[in-house]
Structure 1
Amino acid sequence: MTVEYSVRVAAGDADREMCFAVRKDVFVAEQQVPEDIEYDAFDAQDADTIHVLAVGADGVALGTGRLLHGASALGKTGGDLTVGSLGRLAVRGAARGLGVGAALVRALEDAARRRGLAAVDLHAQTHARGFYERLGYEAYGTEFLDAGMPHLAMRRVLTAS
């Protein structure tokens, strides 16, 4: 099955609301992540946060992801300002397996490169490890719980595109 979609940096409140709606469907409704921990101070539109959005040809949001960099990423990257933090990657069930997740990750990596970052870290749910490994990410450290689910820290060193 082929689905036409585009990926863009979320611009404005309407796009960000579409991002949040995808996250609510995937994390809160599907995975039972408490809503009060799903949304955080990093969801604000600022110079250190980039949201990306995948939208189908029909205008329906299919997926989203977020990149933190600069001061916003310090706690998530061990204090390294050259590393971005990819997170909140979510793809609605009907769009899984169609390349949407990979396209979102690549868009976030491109945004990281434009900001001069050398690498991107993320905390992957352990069941998604293979997905991220296929995209060039390597696991490090030990498994840990986040929102009650097992996760692994992973990193990809960025090269010029």
Structure 2
Amino acid sequence: MSEITVRVADWHRDNAELRRIRDSVFVAEQSVPPELEWDAEDTDALHFIAEEGDYPVGTARLLPDGHIGRVSVLKDWRGLKVGEKLMQAVIAEAEKRGLHQQMLTAQVHATPFYERLGFRIVSDEYLDAGIPHVDMVRTSQ
């Protein structure tokens, strides 16, 4: 396996790859309706792509208010620290932009992953697109 790198994506230039990853993870695997996956916030978000070599394998987005979302890694690359590298890049960029509090909605099964990155649960469990979620917050030191 080549080294995993993370870069800021260009929503227009990288759109096909962003869509390929998110459609594979959320729409195909998790049965999230496409109309819920794709929203108007995508055009205002800062997008990130994790790549093995030059092949995109993961993505995430950062909204101007510090919300992190659409964190997704293709199935064959899970467990290889791709998500961790992706989140570290998003958190670093958020802090660089003065967003010292980052928020996200996490699928319940993924909360231990986010807790290792410093996020804490701040809500009760609820359903989003039929999947159990909780809200989580991280505050920079």
Alignment TM class, shorter chain as reference:
over 0.9
Q: Provide the C-alpha distance between the structure 2 equivalents of 1:106 and 1:20, rounded to a whole number of angstroms.
A: 22
Q: Residues 62-107 of structure 1, C-alpha deviation per residue, up to 9 Å, x if partnerless? A: 10000101xxx4xxxxxxxxxx100000000011011110111111
State the shift of 1:61 in Å: 1.1
Counterpart contact for 1:3–1:98, Cα < 8 Å: no
Alpha-carbon shift at residue 12 of structure 1 (Å): 5.1
Q: How many residues align?
A: 141
Q: What CA distance in whole angstroms lies between the structure 1 residues aligned with 2:93 and 2:46?
A: 8
Give the 5 Å matches for 1:13-24: 13-24=12-23
Aligned to 1:52: 48
Per the normalisation by structure 1, the TM-score is: 0.83
2:59 alignment partner, one of 52, 59, 64 = 64
Cα pair 2:11 2:47 within 8 Å, conserved: no
- Runs (5+) with no aligned partner, structure 2: none
- Does 2:70 align with 1:88? yes
In structure 1, the partner of 2:32 is: 33
SS of the residue 2:124 aligns to: strand
Q: Counterparts of 1:22 and 1:88 in 2: how far apart (Å)?
A: 10
Q: Distance in 1 between matches of 2:56 and 2:40?
A: 22
Secondary structure, counterpart of 1:142 in structure 2: coil
**Percent identical residues:** 44
Mapping of residues 2-151 of structure 1, within 5 Å: 2-11=1-10, 13-44=12-43, 46=44, 49-57=45-53, 59-69=54-64, 73=65, 84-151=66-133
TM-score (structure 2 length as normaliser): 0.94
- Mapped partners of 2:116, 2:2: distance in 1: 21
SS of structure 1 residue aligned to 2:104: strand
Contact 1:6–1:56 at 8 Å: present in 2 too?
A: yes
SS in 1 for 2:22: helix
Aligned to 1:80: none
Mark the runs of 5 or more structure 1 residues left unpaired by the alignment. Answer: 74-83
Conserved? CA contact 1:16–1:51, under 8 Å: no
Answer with 35-44 or 14-23: which moved more.
14-23
- Determine if the alignment matches structure 1 residue 152 to structure 2 residue 134: yes
* Superposed CA offset, 1:1-20 (max 9, x none): x4422100002523232112
Contact kept, 8 Å, 2:68 with 2:103, in 1: the verdict is yes
Aligned CA distance change for structure 1 residues 12 and 37 (closer, same or farther; 3 Å): closer
